[in-house]
Structure 1
Amino acid sequence: MRVIIAGGGIAGLATALSLHAAGVESITVTEAADEIRPLGVGINLLPHAVRELTELGLAEELAAIAVPTRELAYFNHLGQLIWSEPRGLAMGYQWPQYSVHRGRLQLLLLRAVTERLGPDAIRTGHRLTGFTTAVGSPSAAVTAHYGSTGTGGTTTAITGDLLIGADGIRSTVRARLYPAEPAPLWNGLVLWRGTTRARPFRGDRSMIMAGDDAQKFVAYPITAPDADGKVEINWIAERPVRRVAGDRGDWTRPVPVAEFLPHFEDWRFDWLDVAGTIRRATAAYEYPMVDRDPLPRWTHGRVTLVGDAAHPMYPIGSNGASQAILDARVLSDALARTGEPGPACEAYEAERRPATSAITLANRQMGPELVLKRAHERAPEGFTDIERVLPLAEREEIAARYKRLAGFDPVLLNQRRSYDATLST
């Protein structure tokens, strides 16, 4: 069986590793960039994604580059605690939750693909321009067409039994399947992301979110403390802007911190200097808060979608990369169990599309971060007793409901079967 994966990001590389583990021998990953470089800032991997990477044999390598998150805590804009809960192993999962630099994770996956599949499995400088299917032929093959991103301007084609679009929110595969779909949808909020070397807060393994539904600050460490006791803090500053957001879907556009720092200048808590953290950043990147409406179908014959190409969602609930890794594992499991690309893609979609559609819509309503909105609505000037503002039972239900929806309820995840089927020979 020959599989073509368009996209060499986390979704594409995780899919390649999953298919290889399932026994697929011919896998080609194509990437538009001439070189896969460690771009981006921090992301989170929830326990359900860490389980899949562990079952792919990457537990030790992942632990070496990531920070096991111990706590998630929510605060209002004054730094008052609204809600906190343990995470990862401390929550009873059999797998940790990790905070990690996106680029370091991508390079880890890239090394694993190169070692396991061979260096020829990844073809950079291949910009997908479209695809064709051999309708009515015995093989029902699919051919991906590429234009070179190099100076020669050459074109090429690769034929396989299955084409997987893992090419992100601005997916060429998705655009060919849905040519009338509009640009990514923007909700008026902009995220500014960066990293800062500083002393940790609330210990060295806490993830915090402060603010409300309009203005928010998120921070968590993505390295262990160094000899001076400092960590690399990944942070996200978020608020509305009164202008049209450009580059929707591009999270690497650099901006000066002076552009947004004034909005957070007075955010100084007893346990974290927000303004100082932003000011000391080595670089900052702007990203409009965008997603796309859920699709009615991902699979069209021997073509299907994974990751942001299938279900781009707001970066709420720490779920983007985790859901892409789950896609990879469910698809490879279905392919191993059915042995046929078409039926496998249909089975994969039947499991994953309803689940990710529900998460996409829930994230538009703030997902687990709803506690920030409700606390602000009920106590905009702060509180002396959070229980009177937002009872514990309500906070617990918001958190538990999202875990069930997103597939990382501790009990259900610990008991779920493994996606480890392999093709019969």
Structure 2
Amino acid sequence: MNILIAGGGIGGLTAALTLHQRGHAVTVLEAVREPRPLGVGINLLPHSVGVLEGLGLLPALRGMAVETSALVFANRHGQPIHRDARGVYGGYSHPQFSVHRGELQMLLWREACARLTVLSGQRVVGVRDGHVALIDTADGPREQAADLIVGADGIHSALRRRLAPDEGAPCWRGVMMWRGTTWAPPFLDGRTMVQAGHSRAKFVVYPISTPRADGLQLINWIADRRVRESAPGLTAPDRADWSRAGRLDDLLPTFGSWRFDWLDVPGLITRAEQMLEWPMVDRDPLPCWRLGPSTLLGDAAHPMVPIGSNGATQAIMDAQALADALDRHAGLDAALAAYEDKRRPLCARIVEMNRQEGLDAILDRVEALAPEGFAQLADVIDPAEVAAEVNAYKAAAGHQVKRA
């Protein structure tokens, strides 16, 4: 098939590489004229790493990422609540990787440019007659026909607007997040991810590089803070203000005293080489992703609040599912229906679970029961109950364990 993908992010590029590998003629249209390695850290869960391994990218990933050993939940005093072994350390068939988002995107970009057609400075703004993309470029508008058009153009997707023209702005529940990177000494074992605090003030931290010669490691951190009470119709800050530089004054009053035995949180924040601010937003799940010979993928299909390391992973799993569906069904309508039937209910479930705070609900319970900390965790909450809740979330989010 002749397939056009709108969007050169992680999901769109993975889809392009996967579909090209299956024998399709793929063109990627990316709105940015000169893509650069922007952003901060993300996590790739083992099932998505399996997809990237199938594209021959596992050696490159190992060279640029940290193989995550565990996710630790802790209270705002740094006391551990639960340790969940990750990747091969947890019995999975593939590693979990913590990686700089921009470096991963550029790896995919280089591979796509080497294997298929990638055009930058090409923003898809609409579709005519079902299979003709309307494209804005620096040289003026143009059109391009395809057998299948895939919208992988993010939370503000032009293709999504065809399905939900009255959807309006993304949903916001009053939480802002500040994301930064800091060169600092490794903490714990140098490959652990930690979520500390509770839903009103949470600090997530994990390394995204191996230590350099001076012993310092690039640490990715995310500080979430509720700035408005959630209410129906709450409007997020204007889109023009997204990804703006963060201010220490917005974080230190909340996180300035969070000094743990194993991590100096205010020290990480104040020494950050970059710090950006975003509203924590999502969109309501759609009843349908396809319209004629087009469908959605990644954040265009199912934008979700960043809980559980699902954003990039679910986009990558979309890519594999779409390629599989096209392999298994002779007709395009049947293939798109099969792709959607496989992915849409699962992703809608993750959106809803994350709106209910996902696994962060564990942190809230401990904060409510022991705001000043605890001597023994078992005096506050049943550790077996916590482990069962973590495993239930992982199963619902599609984690796949394959033991040797």
Q: TM-score, normalised by structure 1?
A: 0.91
Q: Which of 324, 336, 339 is 2:315 aligned to?
A: 324
**Unaligned ranges ≥5, structure 2:** 230-234
For 2:255 and 2:347, the matched residues in 1 are separated by 33
Is the Cα–Cα contact under 8 Å of residues 127 and 146 in structure 1 kept in the other structure? yes
Q: Secondary structure at the match of 2:359?
A: helix
Is the Cα–Cα contact under 8 Å of residues 249 and 288 in structure 1 kept in the other structure? no
Greater shift, 160-169 or 172-181, is seen at 172-181
CA apart distance, 1:133: 2.2
Equivalent residue number for residue 120 of structure 2:
124
Task: Say yes or no: does 1:277 pair with 2:273.
Answer: no
Q: Deviations over 1:11-47 (max 9, x none)?
A: 11011011011111x2111111111111100000000
Equivalent residue number for residue 195 of structure 1:
181
For 2:132 and 2:126, the matched residues in 1 are separated by 9
For 2:238 and 2:95, the matched residues in 1 are separated by 34
Q: How does 1:15-26 map to 2 (within 5 A)?
A: 15-24=15-24, 26=25
Q: How many residues align?
A: 399
Equivalent residue number for residue 38 of structure 1:
37
Equivalent residue number for residue 418 of structure 1:
none
Q: How does 1:58-207 map to 2 (within 5 A)?
A: 58-117=57-116, 121-133=117-129, 142-148=131-137, 150=138, 152=139, 154-207=140-193
Q: Secondary structure at the match of 1:327?
A: helix
Is the Cα–Cα contact under 8 Å of residues 170 and 236 in structure 2 kept in the other structure? no
For 1:262 and 1:376, the matched residues in 2 are separated by 19
Task: Say yes or no: does 1:335 pair with 2:344.
Answer: no
CA apart distance, 1:255: 2.2
Task: Say yes or no: does 1:304 pair with 2:295.
Answer: yes
CA apart distance, 1:249: 9.6
Greater shift, 337-346 or 157-166, is seen at 337-346
- 2:217 partner letter: V
Equivalent residue number for residue 236 of structure 1:
222
Q: Deviations over 1:364-414 (max 9, x none)?
A: 112122211111121122111111211111111111001110111424xx6
For 2:272 and 2:238, the matched residues in 1 are separated by 22
For 1:301 and 1:235, the matched residues in 2 are separated by 41
For 2:344 and 2:401, the matched residues in 1 are separated by 22
Q: Secondary structure at the match of 1:367?
A: coil
Q: Which of 374, 378, 398 is 1:387 aligned to?
A: 378
For 1:255 and 1:272, the matched residues in 2 are separated by 21
Q: How does 1:215-230 map to 2 (within 5 A)?
A: 215-230=201-216
For 2:199 and 2:145, the matched residues in 1 are separated by 47
Q: Secondary structure at the match of 1:410?
A: coil
For 2:282 and 2:360, the matched residues in 1 are separated by 17
For 1:3 and 1:339, the matched residues in 2 are separated by 15
For 2:184 and 2:397, the matched residues in 1 are separated by 32
For 2:66 and 2:347, the matched residues in 1 are separated by 26
Is the Cα–Cα contact under 8 Å of residues 248 and 287 in structure 1 kept in the other structure? no
CA apart distance, 1:341: 2.4
For 1:249 and 1:302, the matched residues in 2 are separated by 32
- 2:343 partner letter: R
- 2:102 partner letter: G
Is the Cα–Cα contact under 8 Å of residues 74 and 209 in structure 1 kept in the other structure? yes
For 1:129 and 1:109, the matched residues in 2 are separated by 23
